Amino acid sequence: MLTNLSVRMASLQQLGFASIGGALFVSALGVLLCTPLVMWAARRLEWVAYPREDRWHGCPTCLMGGIAIYAAATAGLLAVASIAEVWAIWGGATLMFVVGTIDDLAHIRPSAKLAAQVVATGLLLYDGYAFGAHWPAWVSLPLTLLWVVGITNAVNLLDNMDGLAAGVAGIAALVMTVFAGVTGSTTAVVVGGVVVGAALGFLAFNFNPARIFMGDCGSLFLGFSIASLALIIQQQPEVGGPVAVGLVPLAVMAVPILDTTLVTLMRKMAGRPVSQGGQDHTSHRLVFLGLSEQHAVLMLYALSLGSGTLALLVLFVDVALFYALSVFVGIGLTMFGIHVAQANVYRGPPSEETSSSTPGAGRVLRALYRVFGNRWKVGGGLSADVLLVGAAFVIAHYLRYESGLTGAQEARMMEVLPLVVGAKVLVFYAMGLYRGIWRHAGTPELVRTVAATLLGGGAAYGVCALLQGVAAVSVSVLVIDWMLVTFAVVGVRFGFRGLRQYFAANRDDGRRVLLYGAGDAGVLTLRELRRNPILDRQPVGFIDDDPMKQNQTIQGVTVHGTGKDLLQVCDDRDVDEVIVTTATMPTERRRAVRRRCREVGIPCTEFDVTVEPLRADHATVPTDGAELVVQG
């Protein structure tokens, strides 16, 4: 599977770890020394960002941290190289820094910033750097302009939460620096090293809670520098082929691209100007879905690092395997983007008549339904399964033949691939995998999905045996393929539900409640409180009188003690309310629990699922009264 690993690692060693480490060290040290000076100047000169309705921070924060980033990166570059060697790259980056500085201090029109970005891109083209440099000029030139301008602005837009832009930019630069070192690109190693040091060093002051923001002078500089790095590493035509090399920058910059795409589409669908600021970026949506600010930023770091790792794989694996892995990562990021797009960021708390999706998301679903009816779900599911099934079949071959496929094996794989995909998708359709409402899927749907993948595996065996003969069929490949397909198909169907439960489990808002009773009714209560934001309650633990359940966890929530420990647990967990979930508790015990809660001033309520005759005057919205009722 791995190809030329020792050769590529030797290339990295020939460049000299000392030069790479020196550039990174000087720029990181420079930003650590310069940033306090910039903060001092910012306070003296009133370069301060004050809280606003369309901004996320809640206290006055110093601006112009980009000055320290630019100064440190330039110092690192001068320490290991000459500006003349990278004049086009650093000239364009300097222009972006100057434009960003002017915009931070005096504000300039978007058209002026765009013109400056076009000029900076022209410097790169003049010096021979282009997106897809080995492609025809009529393709490469417009793509270069689109790439540089798009990524520069994407990083600028990503600067919306403490530490996010600096961290993602540093990770992207680090990945591309490693890529450049392995492929032997000295220029990219030097530029990448100083950007990594400056960006990640700035996190010492910019990570939550931030003491200084980089401003446009920093984000435009970092965005242009990273866009330029992507052009440099594409100068290696022997790596994976032209299409694979074109995918590498997209993988490295997946998070900024996802955020920019999401913001643009959702603002347009919500009828809001794209240029208007707001709290509707990916990071903000993650917070609205229940994560803390730090957790949201770290999750985006992880996504950036994961997609960057995929980009590095093109150096070590066959290109067919790289494409197959790209399908899995791409569909995973698409699912993530679709889910976070539904966060309630454009209106107040959801009511019973509204879902948690944004108006834009709801408008999309209604438009799809009007045009295609329910077939739009079938189309989306079919498209995803076609890609996943094909990618799984390719990956299965490479897992079986670890040393790589021979020409004959690859030819046989490609011969049957289209028919295997078609046979499996037909089986999935016949088994009803495109008719379910998967956000409510449970064990029956899981069993049906596994059965469908088993039958699909049998269909794949039949196709291979029919076309190539029984003796040529690799049972090991088909078994690995079945496992991968099952994982992928189940993941797509249950992924949205899993994401929803993950975000709900990490919510830290609402009244802190202790659930009395860790049986089936307690689990039902836990799920309803997490699923329904109207209730505005956050489960922080269980109490149960069964000694065998003590210190056990249920969906991540711990059983902290028995009824005798009720008041102590309430004090330790800072409980605002106790909810009795069991219907089998004796009456005397209920009275005792209520009395003990009343003594310490903690409300005691009851979760009760009942089936009653419909009454027009019945209140359906739960209150903070003595009984919390969910009508079924």
Is the separation of the CB atoms in 235 and 280 below 8 Å? no
For 471-543, list the strands marked E by DSSP.
Answer: 511-516, 537-543
For the stretch 523-534, pLDDT in tens is 889 988 887 878
Name the nearest CA neighbour of 219 among 164, 295, 285, 278.
164
For the stretch 175-214, pLDDT in tens is 999 888 888 778 888 899 999 999 999 999 999 899 999 9
Q: Three-state DSSP class for 559?
A: strand
List the CATH number of the domain containing 521. 3.40.50.720
**Mean pLDDT across 265-271:** 80
pLDDT tier, 257 (very low <50, low <70, confident <90, very high otherwise): very high
Query: What's the total number of domains in the chain?
Result: 3
Q: Among 500, 525, 542, identify where a domain stops.
A: 500
Report whether pLDDT(169) > 70. yes
Report whether pLDDT(567) > 70. yes
Name the nearest CA neighbour of 163 among 307, 290, 301.
301
pLDDT at position 627 is 45
Q: Tell me if the bond preceding 209 is cis, omega within 30° of 0.
A: yes
pLDDT tier, 369 (very low <50, low <70, confident <90, very high otherwise): low
pLDDT at position 349 is 46
pLDDT at position 625 is 42
Least confident piece of the model among 167-181, 326-340, 385-399, 439-453:
439-453
The rounded percent of the chain whose pLDDT value lies above 90 is 46
Whether 334 and 389 map to the same domain: the answer is: no
**Mean pLDDT across 435-440:** 70
Whether 151 and 292 map to the same domain: the answer is: yes
CA distance 528 to 520: 12
Is the separation of the CB atoms in 75 and 19 below 8 Å? no
Is the separation of the CB atoms in 543 and 522 below 8 Å? no
Residue 363 domain-assigned? no
Whether 143 and 92 map to the same domain: the answer is: yes
Residue type, 100: G
Residue 361 domain-assigned? no
pLDDT at position 438 is 67
pLDDT at position 212 is 94
Report whether pLDDT(441) > 90. no
482 vs 55 pLDDT, higher one: 482
Interior angle at CA 324, CA 321 and CA 330, nearest 5:
135
Report whether pLDDT(373) > 70. no
Q: Three-state DSSP class for 543?
A: strand
Residue 347 domain-assigned? no
Is the separation of the CB atoms in 316 and 3 below 8 Å? yes
For the stretch 599-627, pLDDT in tens is 888 999 888 777 777 766 555 444 444 44
State which residues form the domain around 547. 509-631
Q: Which pair of tokens denotes residue 281? A: 């970026």
Name the nearest CA neighbour of 445 among 492, 384, 389.
492
Whether 496 and 515 map to the same domain: the answer is: no
Whether 613 and 473 map to the same domain: the answer is: no
Report whether pLDDT(58) > 80. no
Whether 149 and 243 map to the same domain: the answer is: yes
Whether 516 and 491 map to the same domain: the answer is: no
CA distance 51 to 56: 8
**Mean pLDDT across 48-69:** 81
pLDDT tier, 56 (very low <50, low <70, confident <90, very high otherwise): low
pLDDT at position 148 is 96
Q: How many other β-carbons are positioned within 10 Å of the β-carbon of residue 532?
A: 16
Residue 370 domain-assigned? no
Whether 463 and 522 map to the same domain: the answer is: no
pLDDT at position 55 is 66
For the stretch 480-525, pLDDT in tens is 999 999 999 999 888 888 888 888 777 777 889 999 988 888 888 9
444 vs 129 pLDDT, higher one: 129
- How far lies 311's CA from each of 15, 246, 322, 490, in Å? 21, 10, 9, 26
Whether 145 and 262 map to the same domain: the answer is: yes
Phi and psi, residue 294, nearest 5°: -65, -40
Is the separation of the CB atoms in 406 and 398 below 8 Å? no
Q: Three-state DSSP class for 518?
A: coil
pLDDT at position 260 is 92
**Mean pLDDT across 397-407:** 87
Is the separation of the CB atoms in 76 and 198 below 8 Å? yes
Phi and psi, residue 355, nearest 5°: -90, 180
Q: Which pair of tokens denotes residue 16? A: 């000299």
Report whether pLDDT(462) > 70. yes
Whether 567 and 425 map to the same domain: the answer is: no
Q: Among 461, 480, 500, identify where a domain stops.
A: 500
Is the separation of the CB atoms in 545 and 517 below 8 Å? no
* Cα distance between the two ends of the chain: 55
pLDDT at position 623 is 44
Residue 572 domain-assigned? yes
Residue 140 domain-assigned? yes
Whether 560 and 518 map to the same domain: the answer is: yes
| Cβ-count burial 174-194 (b if 16+ within 10 Å, e if not) | bbbbbbbbbbebbbbbbbbbb
Whether 479 and 531 map to the same domain: the answer is: no
Residue 1 domain-assigned? no
Residue 620 falls in which region: left (phi positive, over 0), alpha (psi -120 to 50) or beta? alpha
CA distance 169 to 253: 9
Residue 120 domain-assigned? yes
| Cβ-count burial 442-458 (b if 16+ within 10 Å, e if not) | eeebeebbeebbebbbe
Q: Among 462, 481, 500, identify where a domain stops.
A: 500
58 vs 520 pLDDT, higher one: 520
Average pLDDT value over all residues in the chain: 84
Is the separation of the CB atoms in 96 and 221 below 8 Å? yes
Select, from the ranges 97-101, 289-293, 564-568, the one with the highest average predicted confidence (pLDDT). 97-101
